[in-house]
Structure 1
Amino acid sequence: MTSTNTQTYRGQDINDPAFALDTNVPQTLAGRLAIVTGCSRGIGLEITLTLASHGCRILGTYHNTPPTRLSELLGDKFSAVQIDIRTPAPAVSSIISSLQEKYPGIPVDILVNNAGVSTLGPLSTLSGDSMAAVFNGNTIFPALLTQSLLPFFNKEGRGRIINISSEASHLGRANTTVYSASKAALESMTRTWAKELGQEYNGMTVNALALGIMETHLFEQLPKERQTFWREKARETPVAPRVGQGKDVGPVVAFLASDAAGWVSGQVISVSGGNMMVV
Structure 2
Amino acid sequence: MSCHILSYAIISIILTNPATRIGAAIAQNLASKGASLILNYTSDSSASQTFTLAQEIETQHVVTCLYIQVDIGFPTGPALLADTARNVFLSKSMPRFQDFEIKDFEWMYRINVLGPLLLIQAALPYLPNDRSGRIVNLSSISSSEGFVGQSVYGGTKAALEAMTRTWARELAERCTVNAINPGPVRTDMWARMPMEHRGGLKPWTSHSPLAAVREGLDDEEIFNQKEFVGGRPAYPGEVAGIVGMLCSDDASWCTGQVVCANGGMRMAI
What TM-score does the superposition give when structure 2 sets the normalisation length?
0.57
2:268 aligns with: 278
Q: CA deviation at 1:36?
A: 5.9
| Cα 1:64/1:173, change in 2 over 3 Å | same
Q: CA deviation at 1:86?
A: 5.5
Higher relative contact order (CA 8 A, sep 6+): 1
| Cα 1:134/1:36, change in 2 over 3 Å | closer
1:45 aligns with: none
Does the 8 Å CA contact 1:120/1:179 hold for their aligned counterparts? no
Q: CA deviation at 1:216?
A: 2.6
Does the 8 Å CA contact 1:139/1:182 hold for their aligned counterparts? yes
1:209 aligns with: 180
Deviates further, 253-262 or 236-245: 236-245
Gaps of 5+ in 1: 1-34, 39-62, 66-83, 88-117
1:125 aligns with: 99
Matched, 1:155 2:129: yes
Q: Structure 2 residue aligned with 1:264, among 254, 261, 265?
A: 254
Does the 8 Å CA contact 1:213/1:244 hold for their aligned counterparts? yes
2:243 aligns with: 253
1:143 aligns with: 117
Does the 8 Å CA contact 1:167/1:211 hold for their aligned counterparts? yes
User: Which SS does the other structure have where 2:159 is aligned?
Assistant: helix
Q: CA deviation at 1:224?
A: 2.7
Distance 2:234 2:202 in 1: 10
CA-to-partner distance for each residue in 1:88-134, whole Å, 9 max, x for gaps?
xxxxxxxxxxxxxxxxxxxxxxxxxxxxxx96311111111111111
Distance 1:190 1:251 in 2: 20
Over aligned residues, Cα RMSD in angstroms?
Answer: 2.8
Counterpart residue type for residue 219 of structure 1: W
Distance 2:258 2:3 in 1: 19
Distance 1:215 1:231 in 2: 15
User: Which SS does the other structure have where 2:184 is aligned?
Assistant: coil
User: Which SS does the other structure have where 1:265 is aligned?
Assistant: coil
Correspondences of 1:81-92 after superposition (within 5 Å): none
Q: CA deviation at 1:212?
A: 1.3
1:174 aligns with: 148
Large movers: runs of 4+ above 6 Å = none
Larger Rg: 2
Distance 2:234 2:61 in 1: 25
Q: CA deviation at 1:37?
A: 5.4
User: Which SS does the other structure have where 2:177 is aligned?
Assistant: strand
Distance 2:179 2:62 in 1: 21
Q: Structure 2 residue aligned with 1:195, among 166, 169, 175?
A: 169
Counterpart residue type for residue 168 of structure 2: A
How many pairs were matched up?
172
Q: Structure 2 residue aligned with 1:219, among 190, 193, 196?
A: 190
